[in-house]
């Protein structure tokens, strides 16, 4: 009778442990979902933000680019500080802070009444995403049992890609709403629907944000963080939520023995227990947990100089790979997918449907990559993926070049029509210039212009049979007011932004002006096929392998500092490309942008083929010895 009672109690305890482990995986995975939404939500909102906010608040293409890139900039700032914040206030508290910041960012953006509020909301969203991206994997590594850590990391990455899918589906829903209004409403009502559409897209994201924030409240703090601060009983309770009492006690003893006062002695003691004749599986797993935590941002085991000869090569190789990873254009393509497909010839909601297909394929191919990475190896998949990306980008560039080459150059004509540094063209003027064809095919007119260092791009899509809009270029709608931040940076001679005082008397210059037929839907679907090939290649190769390669290339003594610098370079490249995307394609077209990305990815392929060693099946010590030789 006693054995039956004990068995039932053990069964209930096992069920309780499994439930908490599943809950922990779900909430941490929801963090990946929010991170994906951070990156992907702007793609669906941007077309309506561009067509309404630019009218209401006179936003330039440069300012819209900053709004898109603000998430990446916020992620850069928070990624640098995430490890220190998590060490200071705890992993759980940092995740809670990230959730709160995400929830606060939503009303700031959705209720924005100008450029500053939108930029601030996007920055908050990026800061939240950066904290989640660093601390969620760290928290999983420190809380999960050794046999579940790989599953936890995979789930976080998978839900990140699903977050992109959710963002795309939200954008598709509101694109259909806008199309319905376009068929049954007048111009004023359609404008109101578009304005409400991008605000509603942001509001919709509040639901997963609240779910994540509320869910974190039910989690325990990381037992390893608690033990580092001498909180033994809370650490024991945290372990017992996901382990049996005996396993929790054994792991707690192992953690206590592995937390001496000096990092060097901790490493020596842990290695001795793991490798000695009395070492157990639990001992080795604990050492693995500590190594994993180190790669995620914890204090490095032993300090080392990045300029040491044996470390400089793997460090520079890791930086090169992470820079090239963003120079493929992945974040810009995900963020501007709807704009790219619309420019290629897919109308309205069809472009949003293509965006959904892109995000779904990204999630599916991520699953394929997780199945292949330990079978085929990192080097093989990076070469396969980067080679496919080069081919896809080149084909997309050729398609855009063929479409953009048919446009008529109107720059000299428009420059001659400038009066008092302004240009105002009525629908009749546009038709007379050939930019709008009465009763003919739809036309796309793109005008890039500048006042000093202030640049802007206006794109008019003139549909057949629809009212022809007015083109108006003015200094007031282009030159932004000065800011305290801009004045501060200029005093330091570091300001990357233009000076309004220098543009006050600068003449209006038409940098580029082209008018041509809107590409056909067939052309749009061909470009969509190229983008899908790009996404499939990225997901199966760089999307997963780059993070494994990064953590495996960095030697233990420089891993913490080295990864911080490499990740900073990664985010910096992504931010610059996203900020310059709209002004660049407005002035030069989409083809040069795709060719530039293809060139960077070719460098990526060569680095993977010629410089990167295969790390599959090798210990970290073997990889470090390879570079030491």
Indicate whether 593 pLDDT > 80.
Answer: yes
Q: Nearest-5° angle of CA 570, CA 572, CA 577?
A: 100
pLDDT of residue 96: 93
Task: Give residue-wise pLDDT tens across range 416-442.
Answer: 888 888 888 887 777 777 655 544 566
Claim to verify: residue 356 and residue 272 sit in the same structural domain: no
Residue 90 backbone phi and psi in degrees, to 5: 105, 155
Question: Residue 311: enclosing H or E segment and its boundaries?
Answer: helix 309-327
Claim to verify: residue 256 and residue 122 sit in the same structural domain: no
When mean pLDDT is compared across 47-56, 387-396, 415-424, the lowest value belongs to 47-56
234 lies in a domain? yes
| pLDDT interval class at 293 (50, 70, 90) | very low
When mean pLDDT is compared across 424-433, 483-492, 551-560, the lowest value belongs to 483-492
pLDDT of residue 476: 78
- The most confident of 104-118, 360-374, 570-584, 591-605, by mean pLDDT: 591-605
Indicate whether 271 pLDDT > 60.
Answer: no
| pLDDT interval class at 391 (50, 70, 90) | very high
| pLDDT interval class at 102 (50, 70, 90) | very high
What is the spatial distance between Cα 191 and Cα 51, in angstroms, rounded to a whole number?
A: 8
Q: Nearest-5° angle of CA 292, CA 296, CA 298?
A: 90
* Rounded alpha-carbon distances, angstroms, from residue 627 to 315, 325, 565, 612, 624: 10, 22, 19, 11, 5
pLDDT of residue 105: 93
Work out how many domains the chain is built from and give that number: 4
Return the higher-pLDDT residue of 110 and 316: 110
Claim to verify: residue 28 and residue 148 sit in the same structural domain: yes
Indicate whether 237 pLDDT > 80.
Answer: yes
Question: Residue 425: enclosing H or E segment and its boundaries?
Answer: strand 423-425
pLDDT of residue 8: 40
Mean pLDDT over residues 557-581, rounded? 72
pLDDT of residue 387: 94
* Rounded alpha-carbon distances, angstroms, from residue 269 to 27, 395, 477, 531, 552: 34, 56, 66, 51, 23
Claim to verify: residue 566 and residue 620 sit in the same structural domain: yes
Residue 511 backbone phi and psi in degrees, to 5: -80, -35
Claim to verify: residue 278 and residue 245 sit in the same structural domain: yes
Indicate whether 14 pLDDT > 60.
Answer: no
Q: Nearest-5° angle of CA 330, CA 72, CA 577?
A: 50
Which residue range is the domain that position 562 belongs to?
309-406+519-629
Domain boundary among 193, 219, 245: 219
| pLDDT interval class at 486 (50, 70, 90) | low
Reduce the DSSP state of residue 262 to 3 states and report it.
coil
When mean pLDDT is compared across 223-227, 314-318, 625-629, the lowest value belongs to 625-629
Claim to verify: residue 155 and residue 245 sit in the same structural domain: no
Mean pLDDT over residues 18-34, rounded? 79
Claim to verify: residue 401 and residue 466 sit in the same structural domain: no
Indicate whether 144 pLDDT > 90.
Answer: no
When mean pLDDT is compared across 1-10, 171-180, 334-343, 421-430, the lowest value belongs to 1-10
Question: Residue 253: enclosing H or E segment and its boundaries?
Answer: helix 245-257
Return the higher-pLDDT residue of 522 and 572: 522
Claim to verify: residue 237 and residue 197 sit in the same structural domain: no
pTM of the model: 0.64
- The most confident of 245-259, 296-310, 491-505, by mean pLDDT: 245-259
pLDDT of residue 535: 93
616 and 377 Cβ atoms separated by less than 8 Å: yes
Percent of the chain scored above 70 by pLDDT?
75
Claim to verify: residue 55 and residue 199 sit in the same structural domain: yes
Bridge partners, residue 459, by sequence: 446
421: left (phi over 0), alpha (psi -120 to 50) or beta: left
pLDDT of residue 287: 39
Q: At what angle do helices 542-553 and 521-540 cross, to 10 degrees?
A: 30
What is the spatial distance between Cα 40 and Cα 159, in angstroms, rounded to a whole number?
A: 13
Domain boundary among 196, 219, 242: 219
5 lies in a domain? no
What is the spatial distance between Cα 376 and Cα 616, in angstroms, rounded to a whole number?
A: 8
Return the higher-pLDDT residue of 193 and 486: 193
2 lies in a domain? no
pLDDT of residue 533: 95
Claim to verify: residue 83 and residue 150 sit in the same structural domain: yes
Domain boundary among 500, 518, 536: 518
pLDDT of residue 528: 93
Among the listed residues 485, 513, 458, the one whose alpha carbon sits nearest the alpha carbon of residue 64: 458
3 lies in a domain? no
1 lies in a domain? no
pLDDT of residue 154: 61
534 and 333 Cβ atoms separated by less than 8 Å: yes
When mean pLDDT is compared across 203-212, 481-490, 540-549, the lowest value belongs to 481-490
pLDDT of residue 338: 81
Indicate whether 629 pLDDT > 70.
Answer: no
347 and 47 Cβ atoms separated by less than 8 Å: no
pLDDT of residue 588: 82
pLDDT of residue 619: 53
Claim to verify: residue 142 and residue 288 sit in the same structural domain: no
616 lies in a domain? yes
What is the spatial distance between Cα 436 and Cα 442, in angstroms, rounded to a whole number?
A: 8
| pLDDT interval class at 336 (50, 70, 90) | confident
Mean pLDDT over residues 245-259, rounded? 74
What is the spatial distance between Cα 510 and Cα 507, in angstroms, rounded to a whole number?
A: 10
304 lies in a domain? no
CATH number of the domain within which 356 lies? 1.20.1250.20
11 and 130 Cβ atoms separated by less than 8 Å: no
Claim to verify: residue 414 and residue 524 sit in the same structural domain: no
Among the listed residues 553, 545, 154, 617, the one whose alpha carbon sits nearest the alpha carbon of residue 379: 545
473 lies in a domain? yes
pLDDT of residue 395: 96
Return the higher-pLDDT residue of 294 and 187: 187
Mean pLDDT over residues 378-386, rounded? 87
When mean pLDDT is compared across 83-92, 403-412, 484-493, 589-598, the lowest value belongs to 484-493
């Amino acid at each position: 009778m006693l054995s039956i009672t004990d068995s039932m109690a053990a069964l209930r305890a096992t069920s309780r442990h499994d439930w908490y482990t599943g809950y922990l995986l779900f909430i941490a995975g929801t963090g990946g979902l929010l991170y994906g939404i951070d990156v992907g939500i702007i793609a669906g909102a941007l077309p309506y933000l561009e067509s309404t906010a630019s009218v209401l608040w006179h936003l330039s293409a440069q300012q819209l680019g900053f709004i898109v890139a603000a998430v990446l900039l916020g992620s850069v700032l928070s990624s640098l500080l995430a490890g220190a914040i998590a060490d200071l206030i705890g992993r759980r508290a940092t995740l809670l802070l990230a959730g709160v910041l995400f929830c606060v960012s939503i009303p700031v953006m959705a209720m924005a009444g100008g450029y500053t509020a939108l930029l601030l909301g996007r920055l908050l969203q990026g800061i939240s995403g950066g904290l989640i991206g660093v601390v969620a994997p760290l928290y999983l590594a420190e809380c999960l049992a050794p046999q579940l850590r790989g599953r936890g990391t995979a789930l976080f990455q998978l839900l990140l890609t699903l977050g992109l899918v959710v963002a795309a589906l939200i954008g598709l829903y509101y694109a259909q709403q806008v199309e319905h209004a376009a068929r049954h409403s007048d111009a004023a009502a359609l404008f109101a629907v578009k304005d409400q559409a991008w605000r509603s897209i942001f509001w919709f994201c509040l639901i997963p944000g609240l779910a994540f924030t509320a869910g974190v409240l039910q989690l325990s703090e990381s037992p390893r963080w608690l033990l580092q601060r001498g909180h033994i009983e809370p650490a024991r309770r945290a372990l017992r939520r996901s382990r049996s009492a005996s396993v929790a006690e054994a792991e707690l003893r192992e953690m206590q023995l592995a937390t001496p006062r000096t990092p060097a002695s901790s490493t020596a003691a842990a290695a001795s227990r793991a490798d000695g004749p009395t070492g157990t599986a639990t001992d080795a797993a604990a050492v693995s947990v500590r190594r994993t935590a180190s790669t995620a941002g914890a204090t490095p085991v032993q300090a080392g100089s990045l300029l040491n000869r044996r470390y400089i090569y793997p460090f520079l190789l890791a930086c090169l790979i992470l820079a090239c990873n963003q120079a493929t254009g992945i974040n810009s393509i995900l963020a501007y997918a709807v704009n790219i497909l619309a420019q290629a010839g897919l109308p309205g909601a069809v472009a949003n449907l293509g965006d959904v297909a892109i995000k779904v394929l990204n999630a599916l191919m991520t699953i394929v990559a997780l199945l292949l990475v330990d079978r085929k190896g990192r080097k093989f998949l990076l070469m396969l993926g980067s080679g496919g990306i080069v081919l896809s980008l080149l084909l997309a560039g050729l398609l855009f070049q063929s479409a953009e080459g048919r446009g008529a150059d109107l720059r000299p004509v428009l420059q001659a029509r400038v009066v008092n540094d302004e240009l105002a063209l009525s629908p009749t003027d546009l038709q007379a210039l050939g930019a709008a064809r009465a009763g003919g095919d739809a036309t796309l007119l793109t005008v890039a212009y500048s006042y000093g260092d202030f640049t802007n791009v206006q794109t008019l899509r003139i549909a057949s049979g629809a009212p022809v809009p007015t083109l108006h270029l003015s200094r007031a709608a282009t030159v932004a007011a000065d800011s305290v931040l801009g004045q501060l940076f200029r005093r330091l001679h570091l300001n990357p932004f233009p000076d309004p005082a220098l543009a006050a008397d600068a003449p209006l210059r038409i940098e580029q002006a082209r008018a041509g037929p809107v590409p056909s839907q067939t052309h749009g679907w061909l470009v969509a096929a190229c983008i899908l090939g790009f996404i499939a290649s990225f997901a199966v190769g760089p999307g997963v392998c780059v993070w494994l390669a990064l953590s495996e290339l960095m030697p233990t003594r420089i891993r913490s500092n080295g990864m911080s610098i490499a990740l900073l370079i990664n985010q910096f490249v992504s931010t610059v490309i996203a900020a310059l995307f709209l002004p660049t394609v407005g002035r030069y077209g989409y083809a040069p942008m795709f060719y530039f990305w293809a060139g960077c990815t070719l460098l990526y392929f060569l680095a993977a083929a010629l410089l990167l060693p295969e790390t599959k099946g090798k210990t970290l010590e073997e990889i470090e010895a390879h570079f030491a030789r």
